[in-house]
Amino acid sequence: MFDIAFSELLVILVVALVVIGPERLPKVARTMGHLWGRVQRYISRMKADISNDMALDELRELQKKVLNDADALQKSVKQSTGDIDLQMHKLHRELEQSVEDTQKTITAKPPTQTPSGTS
């Protein structure tokens, strides 16, 4: 993250020792360590929150896609069942018409008598 070389770190420590003094330097270093730890935890929490939000957004998009696909499938099934019902009604009407035609044909022809012959 930061590009600090070892020599630069030594210069910073020497300046801190001169400015702060040897008796307060350990306390300041400990406080800086605690603050640095808090910053790292805060950054990691923010990364996790952002990652969770991104995953949640992806799941919402997936849910929308699945719902749209389900709606399209439901419409397709309704259309197909409607077409099948229509075909069944047509076939039923044709069958009824065929039965009526057959009944008319049977009643229109007089029964034929078979000759009874003696043998």
Structure confidence by residue, pLDDT tens digits, 75-86: 999 999 999 999
Whole-structure pTM value: 0.51
Please name the residues in contact with 12: beta carbons below 8 A apart, sequence gap of 6 or more.
4
Q: Is there a contact between 20 and 28 (Cβ–Cβ < 8 Å)?
A: yes
User: What share of residues in the chain are helix, strand, coil (percent, to 5)?
Assistant: 85, 0, 15
Report yes or no: 28 and 19 within 8 Å, Cβ to Cβ. no
Question: In this predicted model, what pLDDT tens digit does every residue of 25-50 receive, in sequence order?
Answer: 889 889 989 999 999 999 999 999 99
For the chain, domain boundaries? 19-93
25, 17 in Cβ contact below 8 A? yes
